[in-house]
Amino acid sequence: MSGATGLIGGKLLPALERVGWAPERLTRHEPVGSDIQWDPAKGTIDAARLDGAEAVIHLAGENIGAKRWSAQRKARIRDSRLKGTTLLATTLAGLARKPRVLLSVSAIGIYGDRGDERLDESSPAGEDFLAEVGELWEASADPARKAGIRVVHPRLGIVLSADGGALERMLLPANLFLGGQLGSGRQWWSWVHMDDVVGAMLHLMDAPQVSGPVNVVAPTPVRNAEFMQRLRDVLHRPAPLPTPAFALRLLLGEMADALLLSSQRVSSARLVASGYRFRYPELGAALDDVVG
C-alpha cells in the first residue's frame, strides 16, 4: 500500500489487518520492518518485494487542499500522481507473479464543475485543472491494465473524517459562527463517510466483476447550503451570513472554484449495484457520527 500513513491509509491499513490481510507499506523513507522502499520522483522501487503480492492499493499523492495553488504547487500535485502511478503500474506489469488487482484511487474532481447534471462513471471529464489531472492520473495505470491486472479507480468524493481532511477545515469557522453557505450554496457536494471509504475499498478488492472507475460517494449528495446547515445543526450553531464567492477567490484563488464552489452531483449506483451497502447513506447520521 502506498500512502499508508495518510488520512485514508491510516484507517484502511488496520482494517485490512482485521480481516486477515498482511499489508506492507510502500515508503519513501528508510524501511522499517516489512516496509518496501520506493521513490517516485527518482523512479526507483524495490520490484522484487512486489512479486507475488495478491493486491496493491495506491493512495499516495500530494494533498490538493493543503496550500494555495501556485504554478509550482500545481506541478507537484500533478507530478506526485502521474509519476507514482506510472512507476507502480509499469513495475507491476513486468512482474512474473502479478497481483490480481490494483486499486489506484482517483477523485470526483475529474468531472469538473457540472451544475445540476447527474454524473456517473460514463460521464466525460471536465475541463479544469483537477479534471485534467484526474484523466492523466487514471490513464497512468494503463501499463498494469494492459498486462491483465484488474485495475479499479475508486473516485473519492468529499471524505468525512474526524481525523482531518476537508471536514476538519470546516469545523473551525463553523465553531466560530462563520459556517454559512459558500457562494450561492447551490453547488452539489458529493460526500462519503470514512467508514464507507474503507468499506468500499475492501469490497472492491474482492469484487472481480468490477474494473475501471467506481464513484465512492454516498447515495445522497446535497447542495452546499444544506451541507453547512446540517453541520451547524450537529454543532448547535446559529445560521451566519453566507461567505461570498469573491471573498473565497481572494483568499484561495483558483483553489476556491475547484474545491469549494464547483458542483458535482455524483451517483454511486455502480458501487451499490456491485453489492456494496453503505453504513452512512444519509448526511445527518454521518456528520453526527464524525463530529456530533
pLDDT digits (tens, 9 = 90+) for 88-99: 999 999 999 999
Burial of residue 94 (CB within 10 Å: 0-12, 13-18, 19+) is: middle
Q: How far is CA 227 from CA 114, 220, 290, in A?
A: 18, 11, 14
Does residue 65 lie in a domain region?
yes
* Residue 134, in any domain of the structure: yes
* 102 falls within a domain: yes
Collapsed DSSP state (helix, strand, coil) of residue 218: coil
Which residue shows C-alpha cell 512507476? 87
Flag whether pLDDT at 193 surpasses 90.
yes
Say how far apart CA 231 and CA 40 lie, in whole Å: 38
Domain that holds residue 43: 9-291
Across 16-30, 71-85, 148-162, 168-182, least confident range = 168-182
The reply to whether 3 falls in a domain is no
> Kind and range of the H or E element at 97?
none
CATH number of the domain enclosing 78 = 3.40.50.720
Looking at the predicted structure, is the pLDDT value of residue 12 above 90? yes
pLDDT mean over 192-219: 97
Number of folded domains in the chain?
1
Alpha-carbon distance 129 to 154, whole Å? 19
| 280 contacts 193 by C-beta, under 8 angstroms | yes
* pLDDT(204) > 80: yes
Q: Which of 70, 54, 186 is nearest to 129 (CA)?
A: 70
d(CA 176, CA 169) in angstroms, rounded, equals 12
CA distance 220 to 268: 9
Kindly state whether residue 2 falls inside one of the protein's structural domains.
no
The three-class DSSP label of residue 223 is: strand
Inter-residue contact 199 to 279 (CB < 8 Å): yes
User: Largest Cα–Cα distance in the chain?
Assistant: 60
In a domain, 1, yes or no: no
For residue 102, the surrounding DSSP H or E stretch is: strand 101-104
What's the grid cell of residue 168?
476538519
Question: Radius of gyration over alpha carbons of the chain, in Å?
Answer: 19
| Per-residue model confidence (pLDDT) at position 240 | 77
42 domain residue, yes or no: yes
- 258 alpha carbon, distance to own chain's centre: 14
pTM of model > 0.85: yes
- Alpha-carbon torsion angle 186, 192, 194, 200, nearest 10: -160
Residue 38 covered by a domain: yes
Query: Which amino acid belongs to residue 288?
Result: D
- State the pLDDT confidence band at 23, using cuts at 50, 70 and 90: very high
| Band of residue 66 on the pLDDT scale cut at 50, 70, 90 | confident
Q: How wide is the angle at C-alpha 264 spanned by C-alphas 111 and 106, nearest 5°?
A: 45
